[in-house]
Amino acid sequence: MSSLTPGSIALRLAICIAVTWVGVTLLGLIGLAITAPIWAVAFVRPILEFFPGLERAARRSAFLQWEGKYYKYERTHLRVWFDGDDAWFLADDILSVLDKKAGSWLDTRFGASEYRIIPGRTEKGFSPDAVLKLAAMSEHAEARKFGLWFERAVVFTLKRKREVREAAGSS
């Protein structure tokens, strides 16, 4: 049970103030030093409960925009945005896996249906087919492994989700 309820904190505060007042009245300023451990005991649990809650809230808010919207390949997060049923993967994330840099070469090798500005964003992205095409044309040592993982983990999952949505929509 949480000790962060307003009533509990108010009660603890009232008791500490009363004990401190009595201590200072009877003992003078030494009463502050004597009553300090009472304050510590009274508020240690609420303080310890508050900070993990604060940490959880910070984590939740930091990752909220990514929640369920990325895949992870080894140590790289591949962020994904959806335009209806179409998935778009952030170009910088995909290129970082293959140690490539964005440039004009992307516009010449990929059409507008494969590589373009992600709808509702300012960044460019790849369609799933373009990611597979990029992995196939790349000479990077990890390209084949990445392409196979992407096809099995990402493309399969996206197709399965689309099938489930279509089946639910036709029922």
Comparison of pLDDT for 70 and 147, the residue scoring more: 147
pLDDT band at 34 (very low <50, low <70, confident <90, very high): very high
Specify the long-range contacts of residues 115-122, CB closer than 8 Å, at least 24 apart.
Answer: 115/91, 118/81, 118/83, 118/88, 118/90, 119/81, 119/83, 119/88, 120/81, 120/83, 121/81
- This prediction's pTM: 0.60
Quick one: average pLDDT of 34-47? Answer: 88
Tell me whether residue 158 is exposed, middle or buried, using C-beta atoms within 10 angstroms of its C-beta: 0 to 12, 13 to 18, 19 or more: middle
Q: Does residue 65 carry a pLDDT above 80? A: no
The owner of tokens 């490539």 is 100
For the chain, first and last CA: distance in Å?
Answer: 44
Band (pLDDT 50/70/90 cuts) for residue 14 is very high
